[in-house]
Amino acid sequence: MQPSPEHPPGLEPALAADIPPAAAAVRLSRRRRRNQICIAIIALGALNLVAYTALYAVLGGDAHNGEIRHIEQPDGSIQRAYYVRGHFLRTLKGREARVSRGLWIYSYLHSMSVFVTSAAMVLSMLVLARPHILATMRDGWISGPTFVAALSTLVILLSGAGVLIFLWDFLRELHAG
Protein backbone atom coordinates (compact mmCIF):
# COMPACT_ATOMS: atom_id res chain seq x y z
CA MET A 1 0.00 0.00 0.00
CA GLN A 2 1.37 3.39 -0.97
CA PRO A 3 1.54 6.11 1.73
CA SER A 4 -1.17 8.74 1.42
CA PRO A 5 -2.89 11.17 3.79
CA GLU A 6 -5.45 8.44 4.45
CA HIS A 7 -2.73 5.81 5.08
CA PRO A 8 0.46 7.45 6.44
CA PRO A 9 3.66 5.38 6.30
CA GLY A 10 4.28 3.24 9.35
CA LEU A 11 0.60 2.95 10.24
CA GLU A 12 -1.04 -0.39 9.59
CA PRO A 13 -3.97 -0.19 7.15
CA ALA A 14 -6.39 -1.62 9.74
CA LEU A 15 -5.48 1.15 12.15
CA ALA A 16 -5.40 3.83 9.45
CA ALA A 17 -8.97 2.99 8.48
CA ASP A 18 -10.20 3.62 12.02
CA ILE A 19 -8.26 6.84 12.67
CA PRO A 20 -8.98 10.19 11.03
CA PRO A 21 -6.08 11.37 8.83
CA ALA A 22 -5.26 14.33 11.10
CA ALA A 23 -5.03 12.08 14.17
CA ALA A 24 -2.89 9.59 12.25
CA ALA A 25 -0.50 12.38 11.24
CA VAL A 26 -0.23 13.56 14.85
CA ARG A 27 0.46 10.00 16.02
CA LEU A 28 3.14 9.60 13.34
CA SER A 29 4.69 12.94 14.28
CA ARG A 30 4.82 11.91 17.96
CA ARG A 31 6.39 8.58 17.03
CA ARG A 32 9.06 10.30 14.94
CA ARG A 33 9.81 12.73 17.77
CA ARG A 34 10.02 9.87 20.28
CA ASN A 35 12.41 8.02 17.97
CA GLN A 36 14.59 11.12 17.57
CA ILE A 37 14.77 11.48 21.36
CA CYS A 38 15.68 7.81 21.76
CA ILE A 39 18.41 8.10 19.14
CA ALA A 40 19.78 11.22 20.86
CA ILE A 41 19.84 9.39 24.22
CA ILE A 42 21.69 6.47 22.62
CA ALA A 43 24.22 8.84 21.03
CA LEU A 44 24.79 10.74 24.29
CA GLY A 45 25.15 7.49 26.22
CA ALA A 46 27.69 6.20 23.73
CA LEU A 47 29.57 9.50 23.94
CA ASN A 48 29.62 9.24 27.74
CA LEU A 49 31.01 5.70 27.49
CA VAL A 50 33.71 6.84 25.06
CA ALA A 51 34.61 9.78 27.34
CA TYR A 52 34.80 7.45 30.36
CA THR A 53 36.99 4.99 28.46
CA ALA A 54 39.29 7.76 27.25
CA LEU A 55 39.65 9.23 30.75
CA TYR A 56 40.26 5.75 32.18
CA ALA A 57 43.02 5.18 29.60
CA VAL A 58 44.64 8.59 30.18
CA LEU A 59 44.59 8.31 33.98
CA GLY A 60 45.37 4.61 34.01
CA GLY A 61 42.24 3.79 35.98
CA ASP A 62 39.35 5.32 37.88
CA ALA A 63 38.60 6.45 41.41
CA HIS A 64 36.31 3.50 42.19
CA ASN A 65 39.27 1.16 41.79
CA GLY A 66 41.56 3.62 43.55
CA GLU A 67 41.63 4.90 47.09
CA ILE A 68 42.27 7.77 49.45
CA ARG A 69 45.40 7.42 51.56
CA HIS A 70 46.31 9.35 54.66
CA ILE A 71 49.96 10.32 54.43
CA GLU A 72 51.87 11.65 57.41
CA GLN A 73 53.89 14.73 56.56
CA PRO A 74 57.33 15.51 58.07
CA ASP A 75 55.70 18.09 60.37
CA GLY A 76 53.37 15.40 61.77
CA SER A 77 50.23 16.57 59.95
CA ILE A 78 48.13 14.15 57.94
CA GLN A 79 47.45 14.83 54.27
CA ARG A 80 44.91 13.00 52.14
CA ALA A 81 46.25 11.64 48.85
CA TYR A 82 43.86 10.59 46.11
CA TYR A 83 44.71 7.69 43.80
CA VAL A 84 43.08 6.18 40.74
CA ARG A 85 43.86 2.62 39.80
CA GLY A 86 43.26 0.52 36.71
CA HIS A 87 43.07 -3.22 36.34
CA PHE A 88 45.34 -4.92 33.82
CA LEU A 89 45.53 -1.81 31.67
CA ARG A 90 49.28 -1.78 31.25
CA THR A 91 50.55 -4.52 33.58
CA LEU A 92 49.09 -7.57 35.31
CA LYS A 93 49.00 -5.71 38.64
CA GLY A 94 47.45 -2.65 37.07
CA ARG A 95 48.65 0.88 37.61
CA GLU A 96 47.85 3.64 40.03
CA ALA A 97 48.36 7.36 39.81
CA ARG A 98 47.99 10.17 42.31
CA VAL A 99 45.46 12.77 41.22
CA SER A 100 43.86 15.89 42.65
CA ARG A 101 40.81 15.64 44.89
CA GLY A 102 38.63 17.24 42.21
CA LEU A 103 39.74 14.81 39.52
CA TRP A 104 39.24 11.86 41.89
CA ILE A 105 35.68 13.00 42.67
CA TYR A 106 34.97 13.62 38.99
CA SER A 107 36.27 10.17 38.09
CA TYR A 108 34.06 8.51 40.71
CA LEU A 109 30.96 10.44 39.64
CA HIS A 110 31.67 9.69 35.98
CA SER A 111 31.93 5.99 36.87
CA MET A 112 28.44 6.21 38.39
CA SER A 113 27.09 8.04 35.35
CA VAL A 114 27.99 5.08 33.14
CA PHE A 115 25.32 2.99 34.93
CA VAL A 116 22.70 5.67 34.29
CA THR A 117 23.56 6.33 30.66
CA SER A 118 23.94 2.62 29.85
CA ALA A 119 20.47 1.99 31.29
CA ALA A 120 19.07 4.93 29.34
CA MET A 121 20.62 3.54 26.16
CA VAL A 122 19.16 0.06 26.70
CA LEU A 123 15.72 1.49 27.53
CA SER A 124 15.83 3.72 24.44
CA MET A 125 16.75 0.74 22.28
CA LEU A 126 13.89 -1.17 23.86
CA VAL A 127 11.47 1.66 23.05
CA LEU A 128 12.68 1.66 19.45
CA ALA A 129 12.39 -2.14 19.21
CA ARG A 130 9.07 -2.36 21.06
CA PRO A 131 6.80 -2.45 17.97
CA HIS A 132 8.85 -5.30 16.51
CA ILE A 133 8.94 -7.14 19.84
CA LEU A 134 5.17 -6.84 20.24
CA ALA A 135 4.59 -8.03 16.67
CA THR A 136 6.89 -11.04 16.90
CA MET A 137 6.20 -12.22 20.44
CA ARG A 138 2.49 -12.91 20.20
CA ASP A 139 2.33 -16.69 20.48
CA GLY A 140 5.35 -17.53 22.61
CA TRP A 141 5.68 -18.56 26.23
CA ILE A 142 5.92 -14.86 27.16
CA SER A 143 3.99 -12.06 25.51
CA GLY A 144 5.68 -9.03 23.99
CA PRO A 145 4.28 -6.52 26.51
CA THR A 146 5.33 -8.75 29.43
CA PHE A 147 8.83 -9.14 27.97
CA VAL A 148 9.23 -5.38 27.45
CA ALA A 149 7.98 -4.62 30.96
CA ALA A 150 10.17 -7.29 32.58
CA LEU A 151 13.30 -6.27 30.70
CA SER A 152 12.70 -2.57 31.43
CA THR A 153 12.23 -3.33 35.11
CA LEU A 154 15.37 -5.47 35.21
CA VAL A 155 17.46 -2.75 33.53
CA ILE A 156 16.20 -0.09 35.93
CA LEU A 157 16.76 -2.25 39.02
CA LEU A 158 20.26 -3.36 38.02
CA SER A 159 21.46 0.10 37.04
CA GLY A 160 19.90 1.59 40.17
CA ALA A 161 21.64 -1.03 42.31
CA GLY A 162 24.95 -0.29 40.60
CA VAL A 163 24.59 3.44 41.24
CA LEU A 164 23.63 2.85 44.88
CA ILE A 165 26.60 0.55 45.47
CA PHE A 166 29.01 3.02 43.87
CA LEU A 167 27.41 5.93 45.76
CA TRP A 168 27.71 4.08 49.07
CA ASP A 169 31.40 3.31 48.39
CA PHE A 170 32.02 6.89 47.24
CA LEU A 171 30.51 8.46 50.37
CA ARG A 172 32.22 5.93 52.64
CA GLU A 173 35.57 6.62 50.98
CA LEU A 174 35.13 10.41 51.21
CA HIS A 175 34.19 10.36 54.88
CA ALA A 176 36.64 7.68 56.03
CA GLY A 177 39.32 8.59 58.49
Summarised one tens digit per residue, pLDDT across range 65-101 is: 999 999 998 998 999 999 998 876 556 666 788 999 9
% of the chain exceeding 70 in pLDDT = 86
Least confident of 2-11, 34-43, 135-144, 160-169: 2-11
Least confident of 2-6, 22-26, 45-49, 135-139: 2-6
- CA–CA–CA angle 78, 83, 86 (5° rounding): 160
Question: What Rg do the C-alpha atoms of the chain give, in angstroms?
Answer: 24
Least confident of 11-15, 105-109, 140-144, 168-172: 11-15
C-alpha span between 121 and 9 (Å, rounded): 26
Question: Is pLDDT of 2 > 80?
Answer: no
Question: Is pLDDT of 50 > 50?
Answer: yes
Instruction: Spell out the domain ranges in the chain.
Output: 18-58+101-175
C-alpha span between 131 and 81 (Å, rounded): 52
The sign of the dihedral angle between the CA atoms of 46, 153, 166, 100 is positive
